[in-house]
Each structure stands twice: as C-alpha cells, then as structure tokens.
C-alpha cells in the first residue's frame, strides 16, 4: 500500500445500531505529507481525526512519486498538513493532478530555520523535526488548525496536544541529558545525507555527510575527498545508514576511512509498525541510542 492510513476512533455498524442510537461522530479526514508528520497529527487529533500519510513508511519525502490513489486521497481530505521549507517539492504536481485547490497547513511556520554554513538562505534545512522543540511548535500549529476546522472538538484537541507536548518535553530533556554526558570531542557522526542539522545544533553533535540537504543532490568527487579528509582528521570510527536513502555513497566513504557500520537511523521517515521506529518519539529514542553507542569510547 502506497500510504499509511491510520483511522482513529470507533465506527458503529449502522445496520445493528438500535433505533435510538446517535450516529457515529464526524471524524476529520486529515492528510499529512509524510509519516513523521502524520504521527504527530494523529497524537494531537486523537479520536476525532483520521490521518493518511502520502509518503509511506521508509519512504523518501524528497523523491516521492505520487500515484493516482494519492490524488484521490488528497481530493477527499478535509485538511492537509505539510512540513514546508521545500521538503515536499512534489506536492504541487500532486495538487494539480488531484484538482486540489485548498491551502495546506504548513506546520513549520514559526520555527527558527537553520541554514548550514555555505548554503544560500533559500536552502534552509527542511528537516526541522530532528529537534524535538520544533515538533512542539508543530503540535501547537496542528492543534490550532484542527480547532479552526472542527471547533466543536476544540477542548479535546487542546487536551490531546497538551498531553503530547508533555511527552515531547520529557523526550527533549532526556536526549539533552544523555548526550551532555559524552565529551564534546566525541560527538561526531557520519551519516548518509545532511538531515540532522537541527539535531546537531540543539544537542551539540557534529554530523558529517556525503550528500547535502536533499537526497536529490549528488556529492561531487571533490566533496567526497574533502569529507574523507575531515573524517580521518576527526577520528570518526562509525557510520550510519538512513532508512530512506541510497547507502552507496556513505559506504564508499566508510571504505576509504575504515569506519564501521553503526546501524540504521530514521532521519525523515518512520518504520512500518513492526519496525524500530513506528512513531516519532520511538524514532528519536532509537536514533539517540545508536548515536550514543557510536560516540562512547569502545
């Protein structure tokens, strides 16, 4: 199936309901651009929202190719959520194909964007969710958008959002405490592409990657040579794959530097439900666990 559909709430079967029973409550049909965002929408929306992710689990939100069924899903949506900042470059094509004329909710509005050194301002890093504090902004924006479209359930959305934000605040404190226990000189990670800039800035970790902000770009031979020199100079001994990216370039760098594999990080897509990162909070804990194992002295 090309998209993750998570229907929340219990629908009665009309044929067996007693005559006096109330009809099932209205459920807002929400569409999110990719799985990480869909999970956050589901937590804030609770039982009053059904959420469909256009990009499937383990899917790359940069290079996603919509299918006809995705156009149907978009046409049927009551509300659409996107992260924005250039992540969903394919959305315009899908909206045109679907005849969608609505205005998506851009959940990253209000976040302080990070532009890696040497990048033009228009190339701000779109991977804002890798700093937990930014997902708290997401939750607030999602709550307000749901209240606007379904004011009758406003109290429920406020309650769900507050409970989820409390979990996010605890997660943020835990990541900070665990990484701060590692000497700053050891907080260096080699991964596939430059998706962890917000994580690095928030939690004090340096990330090295052969690819840039988008998996649609290719690293040049000069970029690769410079990265190999940098890795050797900094003593990086472990490299990581990402679940949604091509592993070939990072393997080339690892072969040239002698770095050993450290596991699979989830940078911009959740795993399927049975995998190690089926939701955002579990994803962040999984990534942090793997990074800490690589940064500790062996």
Over residues 264-286, the pLDDT tens digits come to 889 899 999 999 999 999 999 99
Report which secondary-structure segment, H or E, holds 240.
strand 238-242
Radius of gyration of the chain from its Cα atoms, rounded to whole angstroms: 20
Given strand 105-106, what is the order of strands in its sheet?
4-6, 49-53, 28-32, 79-82, 105-106
User: Quick one: DSSP state of residue 16?
Assistant: G
Top pLDDT among 26 and 112 is at 112
The token pair that represents 148 in the structure block: 């606007």
**Interval 6-30 mean pLDDT:** 52
pLDDT of 97-122, one tens digit each?
999 999 999 999 999 998 877 655 45
194 with 176: CB under 8 angstroms? Answer: no
Query: What is the structure's pLDDT at 122?
Result: 58
What integer pLDDT is reported at residue 245 of this predicted model? 54
Residue with tokens 């899917």: 59
Q: Return the pLDDT at 208.
A: 76
**280-295 helix and 35-45 helix, angle to the nearest 10 degrees:** 130
Q: What is the pLDDT of residue 126?
A: 92
Mean pLDDT of 83-97: 94
Q: Mean pLDDT over residues 184-203, rounded?
A: 85
Scanning the structure block, which residue is given the tokens 């190999």?
Answer: 228
Pairwise CA distance, residues 237 & 258, whole Å? 7
With H, G, I as helix, E, B as strand and everything else as coil, classify residue 79: strand
Band (pLDDT 50/70/90 cuts) for residue 213 is: very low
Q: Has residue 31 got a pLDDT over 60?
A: yes
Instruction: Give the model confidence (pLDDT) of 232-255 as tens digits.
Output: 666 666 667 665 555 566 666 666
Q: Which of 42-46, 53-57, 121-125, 160-164 has the lowest mean pLDDT?
A: 121-125
How far, in Å, CA of 288 to CA of 108, rounded?
Answer: 23
**Structural tokens at position 15:** 């044929």
């Amino acid at each position: 199936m090309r998209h993750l559909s998570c229907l929340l709430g219990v629908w009665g079967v009309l044929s067996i309901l007693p005559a006096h029973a109330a009809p099932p409550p209205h459920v807002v049909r929400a569409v999110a651009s990719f799985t990480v965002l869909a999970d956050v929408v589901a937590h804030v929306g609770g039982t009053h929202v059904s959420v469909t992710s256009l990009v499937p689990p383990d899917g790359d939100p940069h290079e996603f190719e919509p299918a006809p069924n995705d156009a149907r899903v978009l046409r049927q949506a009551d509300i659409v959520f996107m992260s924005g900042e250039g992540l969903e470059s394919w959305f315009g094509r899908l909206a045109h194909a679907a005849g969608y004329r609505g205005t998506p909710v851009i959940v990253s509005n209000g976040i302080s964007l990070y532009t890696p050194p040497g990048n033009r301002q228009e190339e701000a890093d779109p991977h804002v969710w890798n700093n937990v504090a930014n997902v708290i902004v997401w939750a607030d924006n999602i709550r307000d958008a749901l209240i606007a479209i379904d004011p009758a359930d406003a109290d429920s959305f406020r309650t769900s959002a507050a409970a989820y934000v409390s979990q996010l605040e605890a997660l943020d404190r835990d990541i900070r405490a665990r990484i701060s226990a590692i000497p700053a000189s050891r907080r260096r990670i080699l991964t596939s592409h430059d998706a962890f800039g917000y994580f690095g800035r928030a939690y004090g970790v340096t990330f090295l990657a052969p690819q840039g902000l988008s998996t649609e770009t290719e690293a040049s031979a000069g970029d690769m040579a410079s990265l190999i020199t940098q890795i050797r100079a900094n003593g990086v001994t472990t490299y990581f794959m990402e679940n949604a990216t091509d592993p070939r370039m990072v393997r080339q760098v690892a072969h040239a530097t002698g770095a050993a594999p450290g596991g699979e990080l989830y940078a911009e897509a959740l795993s399927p439900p049975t995998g190690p990162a089926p939701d955002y909070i579990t994803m962040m804990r999984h990534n942090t666990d793997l990074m800490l194992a690589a940064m500790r002295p062996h």
